[in-house]
A and B are shown apart, each in its own frame.
Chain A
Amino acid sequence: MARAGRVLAVKWGMNPNSSSLGVDVTFLLAGATVVAALTPLGGALLRLRRPTLAGPPPESPPRG
């Protein structure tokens, strides 16, 4: 039977800042247990939304 797969990480929110990449640290207030639950929550939401792949898969760039 095929493995279900894992959600590795979730980057919450958008980044309107045009100079650098921001990350929501508010979740750190809740502690590791809640953060650990957020990732499966993201997975559950994704399954509900049934995402589709768009466009041809690009080639991977080399590591410099």
Chain B
Amino acid sequence: MTEQYDIIIIGAGLVGAMTARFLSQYELDILLIEKAADVGTETSSGNSAVVHAGYDAHHGTLKSEMSVEGNRLWGTVAQELNIAFKRCGAYVVAVGPEELPKLDPLLENGRKNGVPALDIISGEEMRLREPALNEKVSGALWAPTGGVIDPFGATVAAAENAVMNGVTLKLNTEFQDFIVEDSRIVGIETNRGEFGCRWAVNSAGLYSDEVMHKAGVRPEFKITPRRGEYFVFDPNMVQVGEILFPVPSKISKGILVTTTTHGNTMIGPNAENIGDKEDTAVTQEGLNEIAQGALKLIPSLELRHVIASFAGLRAGGNAPCENPDVHYDRDFVIEIPEEVGGFVNLGGIESPGFTGAPAIARRVIHLLEEAGEELEEKPNWNRIRPARPRFHDMTHEERTLLVQKDPRYGRIVCRCESVTEGEIVAEIHAPIPATTYDAIKRRTWCGTGRCQGAFDIPRVIEILSRELGIPANEVTKKGSGSEFLERPTKEVST
């Protein structure tokens, strides 16, 4: 093994990236590996983008502890990492008198979990706050600490801050097996060779079951992906700017109407257990289901203003377990197991895993310290990930100054979201280079508007081709195999 690390983190979704970021404050050599061409491409980018208040997770579970603590931490973390985050508050809306009694148990559970400032408001008050709501609204749970976050930006920012602080990130690097000596993990095998370590962290999300089984841990644990589909609306045409949950069902928080940090109203998700860990297809049935669910809350929603649909997979751990005290279908696994040394095991981090991520990262540190790891703080740790200019969010005056400094910020590449060439070039040459169309999309929101890329795709291909020094037909949407273009036309010689 040529490369030796103190800690290897397997999987650069939000939990892996956030763990790397928090661990980067210590004098440790850290490797973060990711099998995809970019960080945060799976569950971390296919979700509701809600930072939950923490009233619904069953009291006494790790889930409830992590979500309340994570919610609290996000205020600081989002600021330090310059992630778009709006603590706009969230509602659980009861429709009709029959749903009203379902709010009390949520309030009670939330208070036990330590969620601050929870309140139940009347249907009348709720309709004043959101006039588009179903007129049968009978009341609502109001959770002011809930919020919406930029899910793409969050993972990128956390990973980038980790890299700024010395963490090594290897993309397109897939975990294959552990190397174990004397019952202790001493390294991993990947498609790109072996890497040595003293500790390995399993943050493989949908694949966390397979990774822990390779370590001989919890062979009964199984991830069952639970797919959720979403619709995103044109912010110019539909403006519901609140987070509105229905009263929850047994398996999910239900189909909500929410908003993105860019002002798009978004609806979803449904919840469907599926076998395939890569099946993020949207279905006719699923889309119908979320439309029905959302219309119950906001009857005036017009589906013709939908500009995007997508699906994400929750990494649900719901295998039956022999120990009756362990409820995988209700809780996260965050542990240093006894079966093997040098292993931090994170499994079943489904919703509210996004909310919990900063708390989970801190808990990993705590577990390492408990296991006797002496963590020494870096004197020069930089907790700030600087923001890059976002033309979309600037005033006309700020734009004038920026374009004077760098004329590339005057060339609009995506007209719907006002993304400029300057922003795209900056992402291609950032600490974590954006090398695919989707990577640029996740960072800049380029192509997320009404025309869904019809205007910007040729321009982004041109910029990627130029900046990466590759021909246009090697530019991909999301990594090898997803090239946009086939070959030059007949008239064109290369």
Are A and B physically bound partners? no
B interface with A by C-beta (< 8 Å): none
